[in-house]
Structure 1
Amino acid sequence: TYKLCLLDQLIPSPYGPVILFFSPDARLGRSDVPAKLELLKRSLSTTLARFYPLAGNLKDELTIDCDDEGAYYAEARVDCSLSEFLAHPDLLLLCKFLPIDLVQKETYSGTRAANIQANIFECGGIAIGICITHKILDGAAFGTFLKGWSSAARGDEAVIPDFSAASLFPTEDLWLRETSAVAWGSSLKKGKPITRRFLFDASAIATLKAKAKGSDSKCPTGVESVSAFIWQRYMAAATERRNGIQRPSILTNLVNLRKRIEPPQSDCSLGNILWISSAKSSSNMDRSLRALVNEVKRSISRIDSHFVEQLRGANRSSRIMESLKEMSSAGATEDGADHLGISSWCKLGFNEVDFGWGKPVWVSSYGVSGPVFVNLMILADTREGDGIEAW
């Protein structure tokens, strides 16, 4: 069995789905598809031997049963060309490219840790739908797995994962799982969502950065600027819906801790090595873009090496409880608070994945229509790398 680390218990969602779309070879069309699929399966098998917990199944809230039975793998045919689909992608159809149903269940016990579906378009294009357990892979670790898989396919140097997270953040019971569930419960609401995709090109991001730039002359990042802008519009829409009555609002971000640990950890470290930052805007605060960017930056800057040391120290239980209480109490006021959660895929290498036939033309999340957590947003790099898609 593979034991989860303490911070793995923070994540309420069991899977993090990603879909990679690859164009066909214009000269070969569909003729090389069988060879590509065989390469995918062979290199996946090699990669799972190195990332061995992903060859197991979800046993319970604390462990992965490493039974070495491998990943669930399926193939599907798509009755259109890739270019037709990408011209006007139907976000609700994207779930069909995934190997499992992601509408939340009471338990995922017995489900494979890794689930892959190769979707073959009429033109020979391929979309690879990947659902790997979020219990042991955060976004950065997922990027490491994709890098390892694609490197194995190309015959390049092997990517060797680091499994030290359980020793960095050890756990013996489910206390954080139960405590974080209470904290998330005040913020994450289940409902019937509507999925939308917004594209911020390089020009739009430059405009947002210029508007958000503070007197310290330090320009915010694209992720900070887009996060603050969407938060601003989210609050404005919520206020309009309540006939002009403003409520407090919380913006949470998942923050990678690998470079905030002393000494810094490798990008190949597996696990959910992350924490949650909470930016807050009370009903009477300045809600200009510049003010919101500053609040986002402040909330993330608080998660520094000293904070991480507290998460690992002798009094980690009380420090963790205190941090989660801050998040939950902000949403437990008499009038409540609006919550928007952000997870960023930017700069994690998803767009650099190359199995030997080129990088993906699109990397996507998926649209859902069933009851799931709402008011959550994913930020992803555009193919060119200078824009951001917000889901």
Structure 2
Amino acid sequence: MELLNVDIISKEMIKPSSPTPNHFRNLKLSFLDQISPQVNRHIDCNDAGAEFIEARVDARLIQVIKEPRTEELQQLLPVEPLGQTDDKAILSVKISFFNCGGIAIGEAEDIQPSFDLAFHFPPKDLFGFGITPNVGASKEKITTKRLVFDKKKLTKLKQVAASGEVKNPTRVEALLAFIWHHYIQATRAKMNTQNITSFAAVPADSFGNCWRAAFAILSQTEDSYDLVTKLRYAIAEIDDGYIKKLLYEDYLSNLSRRIDFFKKDIQVDFGWGKPVWVCTTTLPFKNLVILMGSLSRNGIEAWVNVPDDDLEMLETHYKQLNAVNSVDMDA
């Protein structure tokens, strides 16, 4: 199939109307910044501006939404996933106009973020601790498959996932257990661990990188059916006690506010209303699963990134599930 015809209309650097004050020019990195790949660097507000790209797409938006293809979605990005932008550009944005038209509405909003993560998570001496760029990225060719689970199918998955310890699993727990279980069945000899990323919250106006990962581990000898319990326990371990452990075991030296979990829907609004659809593209991380809200608002889309060699096995297992009417699949 042919790709979208995307023409670049303009490309420019949008610079601030006034210079950044000297006391705001440099951002002190926190401990979490230091150990985060690709952000373990000094941030200099050099007033170079943000890159803004306008493009025209010879297609209707509905064509992309109804039958999304990762190759086409990547054409709508300003840069390649995990690719390098201009060294001077801190932010790169691309807006694409489709044949169906559209109006951009400007809106003024006073945003005053608090860049105080270095206070809550003081920087550490990381001498001898190596940071690898793109850590976790696979050298294998990764293929992305989009799985769409509507409300009815999620209800069915919750019934199947209910176990002795978890009587009422959440939609996310049931869906992750479903994907994980069937991937294990296809590639158990290769599979060791599965991570799920959870985000810890600091004060609402804090700005920066503040995250930890929850690991649910299944040994080669364990049964893969009761995955919901492992997922729930792994996520539940990242709580106030976990943060306090970081504080008092030489990870952090000070934390003045209570840390809670939070989970919010994506609320992106560039001035012309909420988007009808938010998605990702192919990412070079093996066995990565990204969950997003579906177009119907009551379902979930699972974007599964797997090596090409495993794709055929996965497709076979998913097709076998048609008997219980639990999943729709498209590329």
For normalisation by structure 1, the TM-score amounts to 0.61
Residue equivalent to 2:264: 348
- 1:193 and 1:91 map into 2 onto residues whose CA distance is 11
2:41 is equivalent to residue 62 of structure 1: yes
2:278 pairs, out of 341, 344, 363, with 363
Give SS of 1:383's match: coil
| 1:159 to partner: Cα distance | 4.3
Give SS of 1:379's match: strand
Give SS of 1:67's match: coil
The 5-angstrom pairing of residues 246-257 of structure 1 reads 246=189, 249-257=192-200
| 1:109 to partner: Cα distance | 8.2
| 1:280 to partner: Cα distance | 0.8
1:166 pairs, out of 96, 118, 121, with 118
2:40 is equivalent to residue 3 of structure 1: no
Q: 1:199/1:125 Cα in 2 relative to 1: closer, same or farther (>3 Å)?
A: farther
Give SS of 2:241's match: helix
| 1:247 to partner: Cα distance | 5.2
2:101 is equivalent to residue 124 of structure 1: yes
Q: 1:70/1:174 Cα in 2 relative to 1: closer, same or farther (>3 Å)?
A: farther
The 5-angstrom pairing of residues 68-107 of structure 1 reads 68-104=47-83
- 1:175 and 1:235 map into 2 onto residues whose CA distance is 38
Question: How many residues are paired up?
Answer: 269
- 1:383 and 1:312 map into 2 onto residues whose CA distance is 41
What amino acid is aligned across from residue 64 of structure 2 in structure 1? F
1:386 pairs, out of 295, 298, 321, with 298
Q: Percent identity?
A: 33
Give SS of 1:190's match: coil
Residue equivalent to 1:221: 170
The 5-angstrom pairing of residues 1-391 of structure 1 reads 1-12=26-37, 14=38, 61-104=40-83, 110-125=87-102, 153-155=106-108, 158-174=110-126, 178=130, 181=132, 188-216=137-165, 218-239=167-188, 246=189, 249-258=192-201, 265-288=202-225, 291-316=226-251, 348-350=264-266, 352-367=267-282, 372-391=284-303
Q: 1:113/1:98 Cα in 2 relative to 1: closer, same or farther (>3 Å)?
A: same
Residue equivalent to 1:45: none
Q: 1:218/1:70 Cα in 2 relative to 1: closer, same or farther (>3 Å)?
A: farther
Q: 1:227/1:10 Cα in 2 relative to 1: closer, same or farther (>3 Å)?
A: farther
Q: 1:388/1:210 Cα in 2 relative to 1: closer, same or farther (>3 Å)?
A: same
- 1:276 and 1:88 map into 2 onto residues whose CA distance is 32
- 2:55 and 2:86 map into 1 onto residues whose CA distance is 25
What amino acid is aligned across from residue 91 of structure 2 in structure 1? A
**Structure 1, 216-225 or 301-310: larger mean CA deviation:** 216-225
| 1:118 to partner: Cα distance | 0.5
Cα deviation per residue 1:8-38 (whole Å; 9 max; x = unaligned)? 34443x4xxxxxxxxxxxxxxxxxxxxxxxx
User: Which structure 2 residue ranges, 5 or more long, are not aligned?
Assistant: 1-25, 253-261, 304-331
- 1:123 and 1:191 map into 2 onto residues whose CA distance is 38
| 1:85 to partner: Cα distance | 2.6
- Contact 1:9–1:176 (CA<8 Å) still a contact in 2? no
More helix by share: 1
Q: 1:202/1:162 Cα in 2 relative to 1: closer, same or farther (>3 Å)?
A: farther
| 1:174 to partner: Cα distance | 4.3
User: Which structure 1 residue ranges, 5 or more long, are not aligned?
Assistant: 15-59, 129-149, 240-245, 259-264, 318-345
| 1:303 to partner: Cα distance | 1.4
Q: 1:65/1:228 Cα in 2 relative to 1: closer, same or farther (>3 Å)?
A: same
For normalisation by structure 2, the TM-score amounts to 0.71
* Cα-Cα RMSD: 3.0
Cα deviation per residue 1:309-331 (whole Å; 9 max; x = unaligned)? 122235228xxxxxxxxxxxxxx
| 1:292 to partner: Cα distance | 0.4
- 1:285 and 1:300 map into 2 onto residues whose CA distance is 19
